[in-house]
Copies of this chain bind each other. A is one copy, B any other.
Amino acid sequence: MPRSPGRPPLDAHPDARAALLDAAVALYAERGIAATTTADVAARAGVTPALVHYYFRPRERLLDAVVDERVSRFVAHVTARLPGADTPTPAWVAAFADAVFDAAEAMPWMPPLWIREIIAGDGALRMKMARHLPREAIGALAARIAEGQKRGTIDPAIEPRLAFVTLAGATMFPLATQPLWANIAPGAVPTRGDLRRHARAVLAHGLTGPATAAARGGRRAAARATPARSVSG
């Protein structure tokens, strides 16, 4: 089957193409999509602006590709690490948080991209992300919460529909603030370990609550998935 001449085959992923996607996703995270020009992307990838159009003809196709070939990887990375349905909710939540932190280690562009382009405003990426959202996991989480409330183990003031938003916010939000710390308190920048421990604690028993048995259990569960080093309840 001959492909139209002058167009790269859809399944061809030469170096330049991958380099462009990497450059694009990094710049989108740093400056935002609207502030990133085709020339910026080309410059960071070390190629000509014309080449960007060679691969991603209308500018928006670059966005599509970033979503389908970069952002979706992050989602897949996280969902692949989610524990089974039989895991108790607190442990499941802690494991989710861990998965996000692990993924952000490899793909640090995701947290800023997420909060800037998916959460806020019209979010250029929001619509495109729709088909990559882990709907199943989101639904399951809401169901878990609702069920826990029925059983009396989860505060009824929690809104199940907002559980995923809170979970994502508690992890992505502090991760996205990291560059911010350089300005606020250069000497005392929290490490990624601090962020992870803090996020798990907040999800387990809030900002002001004392360590509870449930939380300790959840943390212990997480210990199997991650470093939970010396932590005593």
Contact = CB atoms under 8 A, between A and B. Distances in A.
A118 to B, nearest CB: 8
A205 B197 CA distance: 16
A211 B156 contact: yes
A136 interface: no
**Copies of chain A in the complex:** 4
Contact of A173 (B31, B119, B121): B119
A212 to B, nearest CB: 6
Given A30-B122, A31-B122, A155 B209 contact: yes
Contact of A214 (B170, B190, B210): B210
Contacts of A179: 121-122
Interface string A166-203: 11011001101101100101001010001101101111
9 contacts: A5-B39, A5-B42, A30-B121, A115-B120, A119-B173, A159-B195, A159-B197, A161-B190, A206-B215
A162 interface: yes
Contacts of A202: 158, 166, 202, 206
Contact of A159 (B89, B190, B204): B190
Contact of A207 (B32, B158, B161): B158
Given A155-B210, A209-B214, 19 more contacts: A4-B43, A6-B43, A115-B115, A116-B116, A116-B120, A116-B121, A120-B176, A157-B215, A159-B195, A161-B188, A162-B190, A166-B174, A166-B202, A202-B202, A203-B207, A204-B209, A205-B206, A206-B215, A212-B212
